[in-house]
Amino acid sequence: MLYPLKFKPIYKDKIWGGTRLKTLYNKDFSPLPNCGESWELSGEKENLSVVENGFLAGNNISELTEIYMGELVGERVFEKFGKDFPLLVKLLDTRSYLSIQVHPDDIYGMENHNSQGKTEMWIVLDAQPGAEIITGFNRAVDKQTYLEHLESGRLKDILNVEITQPGDVFFIPAGRIHAIGANITLLEIQQASDVTYRVYDWNRKDDDGNYRELHTQRALEVLDFEKYDSYKTDYQLTDNLMTELVKCQYFTTRMMEFTLEREMDYSFLDSFVLYSCIEGNCMVNYTNGVEILQAGSIMLIPADIKNITLIPQGKCKVVETYIG
């Protein structure tokens, strides 16, 4: 009988990475000097998440999907993705700016990398005053204007820069130029793709004194040069109720801040459900037992578990994600 699954984080040191995942969420990423990314749930072939609780401990997500199929991920999800888990969930922590970058859509990704595209979203968990997020253009531009600004080092002048704070939500569809600024910790939910085109890297060198590779031509072929009226997701939480943040073809996410026991019914859903706890902790009761979900961790509710009860220990905030 399947049960709510927890996974061992996969830690990544990055040239821009910070150390706050240790102080905020007690992540032990030693011996790495920093932890820019903690992959909380990944089906990426070189980075398969491994279960850490219950009788399935030690098995990776690909093995489990191959064995349990629709019981784990949902019949429709398994029919589409097979044993490849369709989402990647990370915690990111930045000491300096990430590169300015863009991701391809499904068609371009499949044609050029045999990979699905990469649409993603961010939920800002911690940010120092003045921390910046880049997302999209601040004016409509054409390729020539874009290249002129890129080649002269003035790219940021035509980009939309948001001063961010905890609680901000940004949806980043494939094709949208973006970058995460310094001194930000966030939750990232994305398609299970690691294809990134680096547009500009602030003339930064790696530990060996080399500039990191840029992907100027690839980026040109996938960039969306339109200007949009708004780039930040507008939402308002209601105590003890789920609030929808993003609904797209790749995932639906909702958030809830709660102090009361909540019964969750997923009988309408043909998908797994992910719970990312971003504040406090709660008990997750299901038919055959109970699991604890703590801040900074993730839990996968298998598709064949249709009813759970969330019991917060004080105030708790969770992000719910599923396909559909």
Catalytic residues: 198
Token pair in block for residue 108: 């371009």
Q: Please report how many Cα atoms fall inside a 13 Å half-sphere around the Cα of residue 55, on the Cβ side.
A: 3
Token pair in block for residue 219: 């980026």
Map residue 2 onto helix, strand or coil: coil
CA distance 125 to 309: 25
Nearest CA to 174 out of 108, 240, 99, 92 is that of 108
Token pair in block for residue 318: 């969770």
199 φ/ψ sector (left φ>0, alpha ψ -120 to 50, else beta): alpha
Q: Are 125 and 255 in contact (CB under 8 A)?
A: no
Could you tell me which residues come within 8 angstroms of residue 80 by beta carbon, excluding any fewer than 6 positions away? 86
